[in-house]
Amino acid sequence: MIRIEDKQICTGCYACLNICPEQCVSMNNDNEGFWYPVVDNERCIDCGLCVKVCPIINRVEYENKPITYACINNREDIRLESSSGGIFTLIAEQIIACGGIVFGARFDDNFNVIHDYVDTKEGLQKFRGSKYLQSRIGETFKEVEKQLEKGRKVLFSGTPCQIAGLKSFLDKPNDSLFTVDIICHGVPSPLVWQKYIEYREAIAGSKARRIAFRRKDEGWKLFSISFIFENDKEYIQTYKSDLYMRAFLKDICLRPSCYNCQFKTLNRDSDITLADFWGIQNILPEMDDNKGTSLLFVNSKKGLGMFEEIKGNIISKKVDINEAVSYNLAAVRSSRYNPKREDFFREIDKLPFEQLINKYCSNSVLIRIKRKIKLPIRTILKEIGLLDVIKNI
Ligand SMILES: Cc1cc2nc3c(=O)[nH]c(=O)nc-3n(C[C@H](O)[C@H](O)[C@H](O)COP(=O)(O)OP(=O)(O)OC[C@H]3O[C@@H](n4cnc5c(N)ncnc54)[C@H](O)[C@@H]3O)c2cc1C
């Protein structure tokens, strides 16, 4: 039976819970808020399926040659609601138009993130936009299997480890299954997220009614996180200043497996990979209006078929994969382990949220000095040969 001895190897994909014929695998939260499988020994029949299904223990390497595009959805309203170029919605609408069903990540009533499914265009709204914490898969893999058995087309979207979990659960390829993964920086702790919500609600004196991680009020590149509270107060802050986003991007509270992610590769398990096209202003400035441009990898024949179908509704241009990925190293490299991570989690219940983040996620004095050094001081330092010295500190 599955037993997690090294937390770095478990991505929390739920494949073992979904496969268990006796329903004796449950997912329990650890003290950092991440879930891991626990087997009920009394009911376990030792069939070994939970080990056989694990996509990390039984890693399948794919080999494909992705074709890479910069893409923009022609519908600006959808693009502004989406994290990058709004391509996920177009793919999902295509599946729904064929009578299919779409699985994705949405908020529940308490702003936890869970996987769910919809089969209407209107229903897609709740999947739009990145939610920067780990999504609970629940029993959705079993639901995918049921829908495929009924002969329905299914789109499943999620992180690369979730796609690997689903494929391992299903075991055999299925022509009716279409998968979309993302380039994933890593997933932060749901516990840190809940503490952040409590902190924001205490300041507002009201429960949150709506939360968005990727508002584009200040532009796509300087995206903002926003809360609207039941008392109509609003909080909006760019990712650089927001406490939660600082913790996320400092890599202090990611799932342990994210620091050694097994899915950092250009050979993807999915049919299409979606990401932000960081660096678009340098590669194709004509496709950068700061409202969001997607980087899209076509990874399979099915992916190519889908790309042909949505092509009429997007602006797209082929790009060189290596050049594109040079601005988005999260495609091929795990986030770096933050050496302060253990201390951060040791103090999570001891320090007030703001103090915790300020203690562990502040930029060092040198980084702050570097950021302050803009032109023309930058130019002067370059002239006198000091810029490289500062860069290397
Ligand atoms: C945790 C996380 C980390 C990411 N890291 C990067 C990165 O480092 N670099 C990069 O270029 N892009 C990253 N992305 C992807 C990027 O933010 C966009 O999601 C992607 O470009 C698709 O954008 P879109 O405009 O086409 O559609 P959108 O409507 O923005 O995409 C929505 C899609 O994201 C899925 N989704 C949303 N939240 C989650 C979640 N918590 N877990 C699983 N699936 C989710 C939905 O199911 C849906 O398929 C990340 C996304 C997430 C959720």
The number of beta carbons lying within 10 Å of the beta carbon of residue 244 is: 25
**What pLDDT was estimated at residue 375?**
52
| % of residues, the chain, pLDDT over 70 | 92
pLDDT band at 38 (very low <50, low <70, confident <90, very high): very high
228-247 pLDDT, tens digit each: 999 999 999 999 999 999 99
Shortest-distance Cα residue to atom 49 of ligand 1: 157
Q: What's the average model confidence in pLDDT over 174-191?
A: 98
* CB-ligand 1 contact for 182 (6 Å cutoff): yes
Cα of 141 to ligand 1 centre, how many Å?
Answer: 19
Domains present along the chain, CATH in parentheses:
7-52 (3.30.70.20), 67-187+254-331 (no CATH), 190-252+335-362 (no CATH), 363-393 (no CATH)
* CB-ligand 1 contact for 338 (6 Å cutoff): no
**What pLDDT was estimated at residue 105?**
98
**What pLDDT was estimated at residue 363?**
72
The number of beta carbons lying within 10 Å of the beta carbon of residue 199 is: 17
Q: 166-170, 291-295, 381-385 — which is least confidently predicted?
A: 381-385
* CB-ligand 1 contact for 188 (6 Å cutoff): no
* CB-ligand 1 contact for 132 (6 Å cutoff): yes
List Cβ neighbours of 95 (8 Å cut-off, separation of 6 or more): 101, 102, 153, 154, 155, 178
Q: What angle do CA 186, 190, 192 make, to 5 degrees?
A: 95
**What pLDDT was estimated at residue 390?**
47
Q: Dihedrals φ, ψ of 252, to 5°?
A: -95, -15
Q: For ligand 1, what atom is nearest to the CA of residue 185? A: 8
**What pLDDT was estimated at residue 63?**
85
Give the residue, out of 125, 130, 297, with the most ligand 1 atoms within 8 A of its beta carbon, to mutate for a pocket test.
Answer: 130
**What pLDDT was estimated at residue 3?**
82
* CB-ligand 1 contact for 185 (6 Å cutoff): yes
**What pLDDT was estimated at residue 385?**
54
* CB-ligand 1 contact for 140 (6 Å cutoff): no
* CB-ligand 1 contact for 105 (6 Å cutoff): yes
**What pLDDT was estimated at residue 366?**
52
Cα of 124 to ligand 1 centre, how many Å?
Answer: 14
Identify the residue with better confidence: 389 or 322: 322
Shortest-distance Cα residue to atom 21 of ligand 1: 275
- The Cα–Cα gap between 325 and 250 comes to 21
pTM for this prediction: 0.93
**What pLDDT was estimated at residue 392?**
41
* CB-ligand 1 contact for 330 (6 Å cutoff): yes
Q: What's the average model confidence in pLDDT over 74-101?
A: 98
- The Cα–Cα gap between 393 and 385 comes to 14
- The Cα–Cα gap between 190 and 342 comes to 16
* CB-ligand 1 contact for 135 (6 Å cutoff): yes
Q: What is the mean pLDDT of the chain?
A: 93
Cα of 156 to ligand 1 centre, how many Å?
Answer: 13
* CB-ligand 1 contact for 11 (6 Å cutoff): no
